[in-house]
Chain A
Amino acid sequence: MSLRPAIVFALFRNELRMILRDKRTIITAVLLPLIITPLMLAGSSHTRKKREATLQSKVYQFAITGTNVAEIRTVVQLTEERLSAQAKTNASVFKFKEVENTNSIAALNRGVLDFVLEGFIEESGSNDPPSEPRTAVRIVYRADRDDSSTGMDKMWSALERTDRNRRYELLQSRGFPVQPGELATVEKADLATPAHAAGLTLGKMITLFLLVFILSGGAIAANDLLAGEKERGTLETLLTTSASRVEIIAAKHLTTLSIAGFITVVQIGNLMMYVGFRVIPISTKFAAAITPGVALLLLMLFLPVAALLSSVLLLTSGFAKSYKEAQLYFLPVTLIAILPALAPMLPDVPLRSIICLMPIANIAIAAKEILIGWYDWPMIALAWLVTAGTGAWLTKLSVSFLSAERLITAGVSKDLPPTDGAGWFSRRVGIWFAILWAVVWIVNSYTATADVRVQVTVNLVGLFFIGSLLMLWRYKLNWRETLAFRAPKPAVWLGVLCGIPGGLLTASGLSRLTTSLVPVSPETMEEFSRAVIPEGVTLGELIFFLALLPGFFEEFTFRGLLLNGLSRRMHPVAVVIVVGLVFGIFHFALFRLVGTAFLGILFAALTLMTGSIFPAMIWHACNNALALITETIGIPIMELDWWMYGIGVVLLAMAFWIFWRERKPYPGLRWRRRDP
């Protein structure tokens, strides 16, 4: 559908006018933050400084109780003498005063005392060698009072220091010629530059901050642009004009992004101003972490995030029936949207991991790595593509949402519901597989160190198979038809025979190509190899657990249920790609994604073309068995000459030529939406 710039511009200008003439937008989005932020910052800074000064200059009052009061008083006396000597050069030294009090705990509770030093006899825990019980001091305080906590902290450090000094003196008096400074020397050496260290701190927060700014700014625009329009009744007027839905959404996106961008810039400018005035204390090294080049790169990275968030906000606003309802949704949407932005706070999550496929989280991690000086270009590009792709998909969704009739008819009308279980299943299949993925992921985190045989059994039989049976049972599906349990034409087996080596070679070639673009560390490969082929497991066992079981159970779940569910709602080409990608994502390792997704695509296409799941089951099992055998007998399948992979491609093409010639209709498959 063509996008007419003149129409989009006219729409954009109109939206902007409407928002900028709305007093509540100007007040809540621009004026309030401009006034409230400095007030808050100045207020908190003033309070903090005042509190520190008060706590610093205070003379802390305390009492001594319990056993051996005299001995404790001596220690306190020594401490006071030491600190008095320091007070000549340092005015902020800890000052305290003992107060006579008969009921010191009550006085502490009333706030008359800041803490109480309580002497008690500490029983020796050891009899070998036997030691005398000794006097110990307990500092009794109240954690719910600032002055009491601070006084306790200061007294704790001061008494510790005095105690240490006394021990050195004792050692010296018994003939140990030690000086406190000579006991041990420890030095630190940091290889990171101060800019990189500052970059780490900034990198952990930058996405979160930007996200909050973009969301708060964008929500004001998005809420007015869809929910507000619905409430005013102007949406119906707009939808009856000749502007296309794509043009309307494009203009609404542009407006949301412009307002969000403007408010983000205002907020950042506001913050910078207070950093400049030193109202907000911040390390000057932050400036060193952000060079103009880094700033430009970050801007490029955050653009798709902003576009994605704008789509999310527009969808939310379109979903709400009124402006008020859209505002209600804002908090949960914000909380969900900022979750992935917390990824940089997790320890040791590199961009070169599965996180790269998670929108927003991948950009957050990429930004952190960039700020500490790591530039993993292929992964940065992949992260950008994933987030931008998600943004584009959500934009497309918002266009179709705008065509939805519930926008006009206040949500009362819906399409006719499915009349059978298969129809319902095709609507719910996405949710089922999302849940299954999460369950497998959680279970795998517990079984990661278990034997490969246990892992395979738990995953394939415990999760995939039982999950699939649940789906069959819940929707009362005809298992034979759903799983395409029917014989293919006989010649198909000839194709499978060509396909087995062809598929393995082509998938290996593809994986090798990907690995050359996105290198995988040898440690990761070795670890994977050790996990898959552990010592002490026979080839027979391996073939049973890693070839036969996956061949049956994985096909049962993915080319059986998933394929069937999707085939009723999507174009066959899309079905094949989605089934392949989901299959790849279920393997959890990023470096295996391309190879497994490719095989998933082959098996899905094979099942759709032959109308039967059996060829895919046999091919899958044989593919895995062949991979295990070549690995065991030492054929380096990932290091062959390139022409051998070429032979694989030819074999694969031959196989699919046979499948096409011998095709059999897959039940319920529709090539066009309007097909009966």
Chain B
Amino acid sequence: MTEFSVRVQDLRKIYYEEGRGEVRAVDGISFECRPGEIFGLLGANGAGKTTTLRMLATILKPTSGAAYVLQHEVTKEPEAVRRNLGFYSATTALYPRLTARETLDFFARINGYPADRVRERVEKLIARFGITEYANARVDRLSQGMKQKVSIARTVVHDPPVLIFDEPTVGLDVLNALEMQKVIAEFRAEGKAILFSTHIMSEAEKLCDRIAIVHRGRIHACDTFENLRAASGKRYLEDIFVHFIERANEAVALEKPSA
């Protein structure tokens, strides 16, 4: 039997919002992700991708369902889940008044990386990501590209087996976005299980081993790009995405009683 690094079963997040009433942000999502695999969550803004990933990162509590990171259930063992997880998103910022080196040192320590090996690990990452020159500069004085490198190094500083990248290229220029894609592919080669959410079709097509099309809190298709092509009869991912979304919308329209 294949050992899954991440397993999500019928996960739901329902909350109440003033003016909108009950909101089903995530409505019964299930998937798995294996070591050395990039699993993509492809969906428009507000589809439920970030909420799903935040539940996996234990920042949000699921209303029902279960999610496991290396056998650790997110609601029962949140600390163990986070220890095995690196979370990167456009909203996870760095401490502006720490230097790049201090940042990596700090995140290695609070993620429980063995204290006697922290320095060695930090120096290794500084070298790997090419940040030696500005390792002692304060983060608020770094350029966007430099900050991005420090941020990726921060995500993996404790060497977690599972990585979550939530819309990691939002706000990046082309070169930095390509650099990000290259790094993520390297992590896959190292055997890490990667959850990758995006609304950019080309990124998903290029990087993901399997793609889940998310719409209104549900997964409407989940397979490799080739199989999605075959199932939809469409060539480009953009068309494939629209095909499944339209099918989902038609199904919803049929469920509603006619006026």
- Asked whether, in the complex, the Cβ of A17 is within 8 Å of the Cβ of B97, the reply is yes
Please tell me if A232 contacts chain B, counting CB pairs below 8 Å.
Answer: yes
Please tell me if B188 contacts chain A, counting CB pairs below 8 Å.
Answer: no
- Asked whether, in the complex, the Cβ of B59 is within 8 Å of the Cβ of A11, the reply is no
A17 to B97 CA separation, bound complex (whole angstroms):
8
Question: Inside 8 A of B112's CB, which chain A residues have their CB?
Answer: 4, 7, 242
- Asked whether, in the complex, the Cβ of B57 is within 8 Å of the Cβ of A240, the reply is yes
> Closest 6 CB pairs between A and B?
A233-B93, A242-B83, A240-B87, A413-B15, A10-B109, A21-B97
Please tell me if B106 contacts chain A, counting CB pairs below 8 Å.
Answer: yes
User: Contact check: which of B16, B61, B92 meets A416 at CB < 8 Å?
Assistant: B16
Question: Inside 8 A of B80's CB, which chain A residues have their CB?
Answer: 242
A10 to B158 CA separation, bound complex (whole angstroms):
15
CB 8 Å contact bits of A1-28 with B (1 = contact, 0 = none): 0001011001101100110011000000
Are A417 and B98 also in contact (CB < 8 A) when A234-B93, A237-B93, A242-B82 are? no
Are A415 and B16 also in contact (CB < 8 A) when A18-B95, A232-B96 are? yes
Please tell me if A179 contacts chain B, counting CB pairs below 8 Å.
Answer: no
CB 8 Å contact bits of A295-315 with B (1 = contact, 0 = none): 000000000000000000000
Interface hits, A369-409 → B, CB 8 Å: 405, 408-409
Are A241 and B110 also in contact (CB < 8 A) when A17-B97, A18-B95, A414-B15 are? yes
**B-side interface mostly:** mixed
A sample of 12 inter-chain contacts (CB < 8 A) reads A10-B106, A14-B98, A232-B95, A233-B91, A236-B89, A237-B93, A237-B94, A243-B111, A408-B54, A412-B17, A414-B17, A416-B22
- Asked whether, in the complex, the Cβ of A241 is within 8 Å of the Cβ of B107, the reply is yes
Please tell me if A362 contacts chain B, counting CB pairs below 8 Å.
Answer: no
User: Contact check: which of A14, A232, A244 meets B79 at CB < 8 Å?
Assistant: A244
- Asked whether, in the complex, the Cβ of B98 is within 8 Å of the Cβ of A17, the reply is yes
Please tell me if B85 contacts chain A, counting CB pairs below 8 Å.
Answer: yes
- Asked whether, in the complex, the Cβ of A240 is within 8 Å of the Cβ of B82, the reply is yes
Most buried by B among A240, A412, A416: A240
Question: Inside 8 A of A106's CB, which chain B residues have their CB?
Answer: none
- B45 to A: closest C-beta gap in Å: 15
Interface hits, B18-41 → A, CB 8 Å: 18, 22-23, 25
Question: Inside 8 A of B14's CB, which chain A residues have their CB?
Answer: 416
- Asked whether, in the complex, the Cβ of B95 is within 8 Å of the Cβ of A14, the reply is yes
- Asked whether, in the complex, the Cβ of A408 is within 8 Å of the Cβ of B15, the reply is no
Question: Inside 8 A of A21's CB, which chain B residues have their CB?
Answer: 97, 138
Interface hits, A12-63 → B, CB 8 Å: 13-14, 17-18, 21-22
Most buried by B among A13, A233, A237: A237
Please tell me if A487 contacts chain B, counting CB pairs below 8 Å.
Answer: no
Please tell me if B189 contacts chain A, counting CB pairs below 8 Å.
Answer: no
A234 to B150 CA separation, bound complex (whole angstroms):
14
A471 to B24 CA separation, bound complex (whole angstroms):
33
Please tell me if B123 contacts chain A, counting CB pairs below 8 Å.
Answer: no
A416 to B22 CA separation, bound complex (whole angstroms):
7
Question: Inside 8 A of B82's CB, which chain A residues have their CB?
Answer: 240-242
Q: State the interface size on chain A (CB cutoff 8 A).
A: 31
Question: Inside 8 A of A405's CB, which chain B residues have their CB?
Answer: 15, 59-61
Please tell me if A239 contacts chain B, counting CB pairs below 8 Å.
Answer: yes
A417 to B15 CA separation, bound complex (whole angstroms):
9
- Chain B interfacial positions (CB closer than 8 Å to A): 14-18, 22-23, 25, 54, 57-61, 78-80, 82-83, 85, 87, 89, 91-98, 102, 106-107, 109-112, 115, 138, 154, 158
- Asked whether, in the complex, the Cβ of B111 is within 8 Å of the Cβ of A242, the reply is yes
Question: Inside 8 A of B83's CB, which chain A residues have their CB?
Answer: 242
- Asked whether, in the complex, the Cβ of A241 is within 8 Å of the Cβ of B111, the reply is yes
Are A237 and B92 also in contact (CB < 8 A) when A14-B98, A21-B97 are? yes
- B136 to A: closest C-beta gap in Å: 14
Question: Inside 8 A of B91's CB, which chain A residues have their CB?
Answer: 233, 236
A609 to B82 CA separation, bound complex (whole angstroms):
42
- Chain A interfacial positions (CB closer than 8 Å to B): 4, 6-7, 10-11, 13-14, 17-18, 21-22, 232-234, 236-237, 239-244, 405, 408-409, 412-417
- Asked whether, in the complex, the Cβ of A18 is within 8 Å of the Cβ of B98, the reply is yes
Are A240 and B85 also in contact (CB < 8 A) when A405-B61, A416-B14 are? yes
Add 10 more A-B contacts to A234-B93, A240-B92, A244-B79 (CB < 8 A). Answer: A11-B110, A17-B102, A18-B98, A241-B110, A243-B79, A244-B78, A408-B59, A413-B17, A414-B15, A417-B16
**Residue of chain A at shortest CB distance from B25:** A413
Are A234 and B16 also in contact (CB < 8 A) when A10-B110, A242-B83 are? no
A484 to B25 CA separation, bound complex (whole angstroms):
39
A413 to B112 CA separation, bound complex (whole angstroms):
31
**Residue of chain B at shortest CB distance from A13:** B106
Question: Inside 8 A of A241's CB, which chain B residues have their CB?
Answer: 82, 107, 110-111
- Asked whether, in the complex, the Cβ of B115 is within 8 Å of the Cβ of A6, the reply is yes
A72 to B61 CA separation, bound complex (whole angstroms):
89
**Residue of chain A at shortest CB distance from B85:** A240
A240 to B18 CA separation, bound complex (whole angstroms):
27
Most buried by A among B60, B61, B109: B109
**Residue of chain B at shortest CB distance from A403:** B61
User: Contact check: which of B25, B59, B115 meets A239 at CB < 8 Å?
Assistant: B59
Question: Inside 8 A of B85's CB, which chain A residues have their CB?
Answer: 240
- B118 to A: closest C-beta gap in Å: 10
- A239 to B: closest C-beta gap in Å: 5
Question: Inside 8 A of A233's CB, which chain B residues have their CB?
Answer: 91-93
- Asked whether, in the complex, the Cβ of A242 is within 8 Å of the Cβ of B110, the reply is yes
A243 to B60 CA separation, bound complex (whole angstroms):
16
Question: Inside 8 A of A18's CB, which chain B residues have their CB?
Answer: 95, 97-98
A10 to B107 CA separation, bound complex (whole angstroms):
9
- Asked whether, in the complex, the Cβ of A6 is within 8 Å of the Cβ of B109, the reply is yes
A241 to B60 CA separation, bound complex (whole angstroms):
14
Question: Inside 8 A of B98's CB, which chain A residues have their CB?
Answer: 14, 17-18
- Asked whether, in the complex, the Cβ of B59 is within 8 Å of the Cβ of A243, the reply is no
**Residue of chain B at shortest CB distance from A247:** B110
- B104 to A: closest C-beta gap in Å: 12
- Asked whether, in the complex, the Cβ of B110 is within 8 Å of the Cβ of A409, the reply is no
- Asked whether, in the complex, the Cβ of A7 is within 8 Å of the Cβ of B109, the reply is yes
Question: Inside 8 A of A413's CB, which chain B residues have their CB?
Answer: 15-17, 23, 25
- Asked whether, in the complex, the Cβ of B107 is within 8 Å of the Cβ of A232, the reply is no
A412 to B83 CA separation, bound complex (whole angstroms):
28
Question: Inside 8 A of A416's CB, which chain B residues have their CB?
Answer: 14-16, 22
- Asked whether, in the complex, the Cβ of B16 is within 8 Å of the Cβ of A414, the reply is yes
Most buried by A among B25, B59, B96: B59
A107 to B25 CA separation, bound complex (whole angstroms):
80
Question: Inside 8 A of B61's CB, which chain A residues have their CB?
Answer: 405
Question: Inside 8 A of B25's CB, which chain A residues have their CB?
Answer: 413
A241 to B61 CA separation, bound complex (whole angstroms):
16
**Residue of chain A at shortest CB distance from B56:** A240
Are A234 and B94 also in contact (CB < 8 A) when A242-B82, A416-B22 are? yes
**Residue of chain A at shortest CB distance from B157:** A241
A13 to B95 CA separation, bound complex (whole angstroms):
13
A244 to B111 CA separation, bound complex (whole angstroms):
10
- Asked whether, in the complex, the Cβ of A236 is within 8 Å of the Cβ of B16, the reply is no
- A323 to B: closest C-beta gap in Å: 13
Question: Inside 8 A of A415's CB, which chain B residues have their CB?
Answer: 15-16
Most buried by A among B95, B106, B111: B95
